[in-house]
């Protein structure tokens, strides 16, 4: 098994992300799974770069799940076309291994935004979830998460993101889910991405907000009843 799979999803030019990853020195074995609607011939002979066609041209949720299905890494790091991974990106793997050593059920962390500041879930959410108001404020949006494969298979239904999401709010839900499971996760404030100039796309946001609200409101009071997806598929194990 490969140590790390970078899951790179983009409908734009993703070559800067690939070149950055290839330039980093590491003792880990890795692969770069690119899910996009276009392929660059310069990577044809590079066995580290594996291309998966984004047939839906989603550039988001379903593309990450496609990329994951074609990966072989023990650990996964998500990357989008609007960020460049930092020089210390592999510190995410050290954090995941630390969580494993501490017997965490959910082995998850996230790259941080360029300023290293916390990105909380929207005000008012998850307002109806259990726990004190102070505890709820600790729920972070995990924008560029990293996972262990075991966590994805055992607790996330064999997908990076719940399949009912389309484009947005799934990173809000991941942070909320971790909180509900009793293991709130934080972005690594010293592992900050570099922003790529882009215009934010508003696409199916109303749909995704409804999905996020439903997931928040439909959960049981006990973490034993918490599910990651509205569709409990065969991979889900309590």
DSSP-assigned letters across all residues of the chain: -EEEEEEEE-SS--HHHHHHHHHS--SS-EEEEEEES---GGGTT-TTEEEEE-TT--SSHHHHHHHHHT--EEEEEEEETTEE--TTTTHHHHHHHHHHHTT-SS-EEEEEPTT----BPPTTTTTTSSS-HHHHTTPBP-SEEEEEHHHHHHHSTTSSS-TT--SSSHHHHHHHHHHHTT----EEEEEEPEE--------SHHHHHHHHHHHHHH--SSGGG--SSSS--TT---
- The pLDDT value recorded for residue 120 is 81
Low-confidence winner among 24-33, 50-59, 93-102, 169-178 (lowest mean pLDDT): 50-59
- pLDDT digit string, tens, across residues 220-238: 555 667 889 987 533 333 3
180 or 42, higher pLDDT = 42
- The pLDDT value recorded for residue 80 is 95
Nearest to 156 by CA among 171, 177, 140: 177
At 135, phi and psi to the nearest 5?
A: -65, -40
Domain ranges of the chain: 2-225
170 or 57, higher pLDDT = 170
- pLDDT digit string, tens, across residues 69-128: 999 999 999 999 999 999 999 999 999 999 999 999 999 999 999 999 888 887 666 555
In the CATH hierarchy, which top-level class contains the domain 2-225?
Answer: alpha beta
- The pLDDT value recorded for residue 157 is 94
Average pLDDT, the chain: 88
58 or 208, higher pLDDT = 208
- The mean per-residue pLDDT over the stretch 26-53 comes to 96
Distance CA 141, CA 33 (A): 23
- pLDDT digit string, tens, across residues 157-189: 999 999 999 888 999 999 999 988 889 999 999
């Amino acid at each position: 098994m490969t140590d790390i799979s970078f899951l790179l999803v983009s409908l734009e030019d993703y070559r800067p992300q690939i070149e950055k990853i290839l330039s980093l020195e590491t003792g880990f074995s890795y692969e770069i799974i690119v899910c996009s609607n276009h392929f660059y011939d310069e990577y044809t002979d590079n066995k580290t770069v594996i291309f998966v066609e984004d047939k839906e041209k989603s550039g988001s949720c379903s593309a990450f799940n496609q990329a994951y299905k074609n990966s072989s890494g023990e650990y996964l790091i998500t990357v989008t076309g609007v960020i460049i991974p930092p020089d210390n990106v592999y510190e995410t793997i050290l954090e995941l291994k630390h969580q494993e050593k501490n017997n965490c059920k959910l082995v998850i962390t996230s790259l941080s935004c360029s300023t290293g500041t916390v990105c909380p879930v929207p005000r008012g959410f998850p307002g109806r979830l259990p726990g004190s108001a102070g505890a709820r404020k600790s729920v972070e949006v995990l924008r560029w998460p990293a996972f262990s494969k075991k966590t994805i298979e055992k607790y996330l239904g064999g997908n990076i993101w719940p399949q009912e999401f389309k484009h947005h709010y799934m990173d809000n839900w991941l942070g909320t889910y971790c909180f509900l499971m009793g293991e709130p996760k934080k972005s690594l404030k010293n592992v900050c991405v570099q922003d790529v100039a882009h215009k934010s796309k508003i696409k199916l946001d109303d749909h995704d907000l409804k999905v996020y609200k439903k997931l928040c409101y439909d959960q049981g009071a006990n973490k034993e009843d918490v599910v990651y997806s509205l569709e409990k598929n065969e991979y889900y194990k309590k």
